[in-house]
A and B are shown apart, each in its own frame.
Chain A
Amino acid sequence: MEQELISKKELLELTKISYGQLYRWKRKNLIPEEWFIKKSTYTGQETFFPKERILDRIEKIKDMKGEVSLDDLANMLSPNLSELMMKSKDLIKLDIISKNTLDFYIKERGKDKELNFEKILYLSILDNLFDSGKINFDEGKLILNFLEEFYPKYKGKNCELLFLRKLGISSCCLVSKSNMINFENSMKIVENLNLTDLIEELKIKLV
């Protein structure tokens, strides 16, 4: 999971923002602390960022800052789950999850009138995976059980969900960000979902 880095100077040139803006967004927690990576260079210590993620984030901030306040934006972008409740009907209406996924969930867990954000997140993960045809319903069950048991421990942290398959046997795991993880060659990583990005997308859709 080696990522390409971009120096602060290049970033500002590329995105045409000023130091002041960058620092203000940092203060408002729009840019997470762990993205500021210190490295020694010949001019002393310089700050670097994970290139793809920071560019994506700055685009998002620039796009949205006209419409919403910085504080609301920070809320949206943070990996903390919001205290939102949604009716299952509305979720389908808003095209956040498909009817198939919801039916699957109702079969497994019974009918809930309102779903909290955590459940919506699980459903959208499942929806994502079902939709791409990467898993079947049995595996969906596995993931749902797994997420319900373990995701709360990762709440508010950056993490990724890996779905693995080896010789037809499937499994999944959660990895908190910036950890290296390696598998032997016969293990296939079927899907690698970044939950933080997913939460961001969901929040933007829901608000």
Chain B
Amino acid sequence: MEKDMINLEIKGSGSSTGGKYNTVLIKGNGKIDGNLDCIHMEIQGRCEVNGNVKAESVKVNGHTSIKGSLDADKIEIHGESDVDGDLSVDKSIIHGMISVHGNFNAECFNMEGAFTIRGLLNAGELELKLHGPSEAREIGGEEIMIRRNGKVKFTRLRKMIIPLGFNTGLTTDVIEGDEIYLEYTKAKIVRGNNIELGPGCNIKLIEYKNDFKQHEDSEVGTYKKLK
């Protein structure tokens, strides 16, 4: 921690330019124009950053929108976040919604909620509990675990509002990993060492190395074992 770095605090509503800070704290509504480089960033409320963010840790309770890329060791999001560029973190905990226009790289990605990733989702450990329709172009990693965890009441209510045919699970082109468990996932190709499908999957092609299990409520086009 460098001594001459100052803190940035916005309480209420305000805006600031980017720069190097120790701690960035926003309670209320903040807007930052420019790149932000800080140790710790905490947002309670709403924040918009017109630039890239680099931080050791980022904590969001509320809504953030970053027009550039986000690079952090640890992020914790309760609420909603939009990142227009790439998102790279070591550890991320997300409760809520996240949308990333670029690629999402994480060593450990733990999430409850829904996401949209336009690029590649690349994670060492991936544990997703989906509450709503999610989307990624491609998913790759070591351990991939995707479950749907919508509360029963909630899904029923949604079914009343949004009629059938609306997809509540995950849609993606390709999933590739070592250990894979999927629920309510629609994909063109799934490749891995050990693959287990829970209920509600629709997958065109499965290629596995060691082991493949399929729930009776899942549809699979073709599957083959690779030597």
Contact = CB atoms under 8 A, between A and B. Distances in A.
A69 interface: no
A43 B205 contact: yes
Interface residues of B, number: 21
B169 interface: no
B122 A20 contact: no
Contacts of B105: 27
Interface residues of A, number: 15
A8 B177 CA distance: 13
B176 interface: yes
B107 A18 contact: no
A137 interface: no
B189 A23 contact: no
Contact of A27 (B122, B177, B207, B226): B122
Contacts of A18: 142, 178, 193
Interface in A162-188: none
A93 interface: no
B124 A19 contact: no
A20 B177 contact: yes
Nearest to A8: B176
A35 B162 CA distance: 43
A8 B191 CA distance: 11
Contact of A23 (B141, B193, B207, B226): B141
B173 A19 contact: no
Contacts of B226: 13
B189 A19 contact: no
Interface in B160-211: 173-174, 176-178, 188-189, 191-193, 205, 207
Contacts of B132: none
Contacts of A19: 140-141, 176-178, 191-193
Contacts of A44: 173-174, 188-189
B69 to A, nearest CB: 14
A60 interface: no
Interface string B207-227: 100000000000000000010
Contacts of B107: 27
Interface string A142-155: 00000000000000
A24 interface: yes
B188 A23 contact: no
Nearest to B142: A20
A132 interface: no
A141 interface: no
Contacts of B188: 43-44
A45 B107 CA distance: 25
Contact of B142 (A8, A9, A24, A43): A24
B122 A45 contact: no
Contact of B124 (A8, A24, A45): A24
A26 interface: yes
B173 A27 contact: no
Contacts of B176: 8, 19, 23
A26 B88 CA distance: 12
Contacts of A27: 105, 107, 122, 124
Given A27-B105, A27-B107, A20 B205 contact: no
Nearest to B143: A20
Contacts of A26: 122, 140
22 contacts: A9-B191, A9-B207, A13-B226, A18-B193, A19-B141, A19-B176, A19-B191, A19-B192, A20-B124, A20-B142, A20-B143, A23-B124, A23-B141, A23-B142, A24-B124, A26-B122, A27-B105, A27-B122, A43-B189, A44-B173, A45-B173, A45-B174
Interface of B: 105, 107, 122, 124, 140-143, 173-174, 176-178, 188-189, 191-193, 205, 207, 226
